[in-house]
Chain A
């Protein structure tokens, strides 16, 4: 055997890299080949959509940048050339920073969490080949994504400016070099961070931060007043963009080189491009060899956090708060235990937290938008019938209920819809325990209902305080929110039971698509119907100048009955499904 090993030729670096990349491609291809027909069609549709998007961005950039270059615009808006020249600088810098940030997560997964590193490093292949493959694996998808936005823009700029033909291939080469340098730096960052924090925890924090930031950014546009965008603000934005084009910034060199090349200024083009591409390749090379050495010596695998060993906790004294006693009297111990356990699990797992914080962001943004509008309906051009305006005015009194319910609804779709699914592979603990179906459902109902109620009420109170609405209105709206959320919790939980999926690794796979969508649809319909039942009697009585409290009481009676029925009936219908959850078929 040892003789055979001695005769085994040392494989070359690039053939091995090619082999490993082919393996990646094979895994991806197999994923596509074995996918369901629906998924395949979806993927192909996505490819077509991406190509269409590419073309769209290219033509938009071409026309827009061409328009910016027109002499007639220059007469009105002044010299826009500095702005145009800074477009490649901005695009290349954004690509570099984008890949630096996005490949951090991918490399963390590829180097520490994918579990194939030991397998690959134990194979008779150069270690460098493994690292190059891992870096390429991290870079390629992000590079593709960045190119999707940056390439059409830069090509559009070239087309609009009548740039030299060498500009186009050089754009690709520069972007590729930047991507490699960014991925190299990212791999070192990953290793330094994992030295201090556990890789899995870093991945969780990264996912949480990414989800929250992207969600907050996507929604923050709601707060922007486009109608009040002034010339001064536009000038400031242009100045900020041109400030990136500073000659001392290495990130600007590549962009400046591309502009110079396009404009046939060969000397500065050659200088800037050779320096920037050379620097990028050098960074990649140093990062690659350093990362490889740090990993192989074991430095990158050993955590450096000398955590203080916690002293074992002594048993807690049996001092109880009155609320605790009350809860103990009315809520069975098993129900309390499950609720407390869910509270710990939801709070500590950041993957859950990102899903729970989303409704808060949504709620805050829409509450601000609503309050900024003065809490009054827009009359438009004033052509609507007076009766309609009157109804709208009466209904708008309760818009705070709508916002509170919207926030509560979003929270419920996570807490209720995935209440059972979130147990995942740990469900055996509940199933093997002496807990009845009723207790289990009650616990999950409380876990979904109470936070949604607290959040809904908090929003309602804050909006009512800001609007200075009357106490009598609050007395009516508080139970409306409580009852509405109860019905919604029952509905969401029922659909959650029907579509429960315990076999997941990633929380996004918790609920099966069709049932989840159906649940969301039903809960939206329910919200509309229940709000109508709560408010229609009040609005009708207000229209006829009759006492509003009578209408509110009638609304509470009718809407409350409907909400409570929706809270209990769907759960009763799916009760027999609960003991069968978690049984693989």
Chain B
């Protein structure tokens, strides 16, 4: 169920630190009901782009719209429409999960009774019910990751931005998160996630964007990328999987040869 209006829209997005251009003229759209995968090698500019979408970083130039609102000009409205899960779940270590969710509910201006109803639901969903009253500094990395996701879902956002959401999670939790994301997309939310696990991107995402050295080098569905990958692959090479396409586009194919020599 995709909508006609994009819920995330970036236009010629640029982020520079001094002379170094980290994100260079990145433009794309993500529609409601769509899961958009954002791939790229380490240091390609994924997290910087995500931070600009979430309103954590000010772009040097270009614009980002979330839920139809300009993140620069209408930050409060844009942020109210979105949820964000960072790659490192830095949460207040001395709050309990329950207190954190209540805090987030208040930040997003939700009605207190609504928040109190939602907290046990989310804790149960993420299997955090027993640990809900322990402070977060006693949690494992996976539990913190799940708490961060629960916090991003408290206000039932229209747009969810996730940076490496499955890192450090056990298979059961990873599966749970995949199911939740799929359900959210079916309900019309736009999901933007970066991942290094190409299998997740291939199986979950409706469209994929590949960023390399700050530039968006490919955007499209798997079929579109496959078609694009054929052009860039070696002569006679079969370009089928996302891994082949990704390595072909980002120039990582030579590593396969090195691995072959070491075998």
Residues of A in contact with B (beta carbons under 8 Å apart):
198, 200, 309-310, 312-313, 315-316, 318, 333-334, 336-338, 340-341, 344-345, 348-349, 424-426, 428-436, 579-580, 582-583, 585
Q: Is the CB of A425 within 8 A of B103?
A: no
Cβ proximity bits B201-236 to A, threshold 8 Å, 1 near / 0 not: 000000000000000000000000000000000000
Q: How many A-B pairs fall under 8 Å by CB?
A: 102
A contact residues around B129 at 8 Å (CB): 312
Task: Report the nearest A residue to B57, measured CB to CB.
Answer: A583
Among candidates B56, B80, B84, residue contacting A582 with C-beta atoms closer than 8 Å: B56
- CB contact list, B101-138 vs A, under 8 A: 102-109, 112-113, 116-117, 119-120, 123, 129-130, 132-135, 137-138
Bound-complex Cα distance A318 to B132 (A): 20
B178 to chain A, nearest CB (A): 23
Number of interface residues of B (CB under 8 A): 48
B119 to chain A, nearest CB (A): 7
- CB contact list, B53-99 vs A, under 8 A: 54-58, 75-77, 79-80, 82, 84, 86, 88, 90-95, 98-99
Task: Report the nearest B residue to A337, measured CB to CB.
Answer: B106
What does DSSP make chain A's interface, helix, strand, loop or mixed?
helix
Residues of B in contact with A (beta carbons under 8 Å apart):
17-18, 54-58, 75-77, 79-80, 82, 84, 86, 88, 90-95, 98-99, 102-109, 112-113, 116-117, 119-120, 123, 129-130, 132-135, 137-138, 151
Q: Is the CB of A430 within 8 A of B86?
A: no
Among candidates B79, B99, B123, residue contacting A344 with C-beta atoms closer than 8 Å: B99
Q: Is the CB of B92 within 8 A of A434?
A: no
4 pairs of A and B residues whose beta carbons are closest in the complex:
A337-B106, A434-B80, A348-B94, A315-B116
B contact residues around A318 at 8 Å (CB): 112-113
Q: Is the CB of A430 within 8 A of B130?
A: no
Taking A345-B92, A428-B90, A431-B56 as given, write out 13 further A-B residue pairs in contact, using a Cβ cutoff of 8 Å, ordered by the A residue number: A198-B138, A316-B116, A334-B109, A337-B102, A337-B105, A341-B99, A341-B103, A349-B94, A429-B107, A430-B107, A433-B107, A434-B79, A582-B56
Bound-complex Cα distance A341 to B107 (A): 11
Q: Is the CB of A425 within 8 A of B119?
A: no
A348-B86 contact, Cβ under 8 Å, with A315-B120, A333-B106, A333-B109: no
Q: Is the CB of A579 within 8 A of B88?
A: no
Task: Report the nearest B residue to A313, measured CB to CB.
Answer: B133
Q: Is the CB of B132 within 8 A of A313?
A: yes
A334-B55 contact, Cβ under 8 Å, with A315-B117, A344-B94, A425-B88: no
What are 26 A-to-B residue pairs whose CB atoms are below 8 Å? A200-B137, A309-B130, A310-B133, A312-B132, A318-B113, A333-B107, A333-B109, A334-B106, A336-B106, A337-B106, A337-B107, A338-B103, A344-B92, A345-B94, A348-B94, A349-B94, A425-B88, A426-B92, A428-B54, A428-B86, A434-B109, A435-B76, A436-B76, A579-B75, A582-B56, A583-B57
Bound-complex Cα distance A582 to B82 (A): 20
A contact residues around B79 at 8 Å (CB): 432-435
Among candidates B18, B90, B135, residue contacting A348 with C-beta atoms closer than 8 Å: B135
Among candidates B54, B112, B123, residue contacting A432 with C-beta atoms closer than 8 Å: B54
B contact residues around A436 at 8 Å (CB): 76
A contact residues around B109 at 8 Å (CB): 333-334, 434
B49 to chain A, nearest CB (A): 14
A302 to chain B, nearest CB (A): 15
B contact residues around A429 at 8 Å (CB): 91-92, 104, 107, 151
A contact residues around B18 at 8 Å (CB): 585
Among candidates B84, B113, B130, residue contacting A312 with C-beta atoms closer than 8 Å: B130
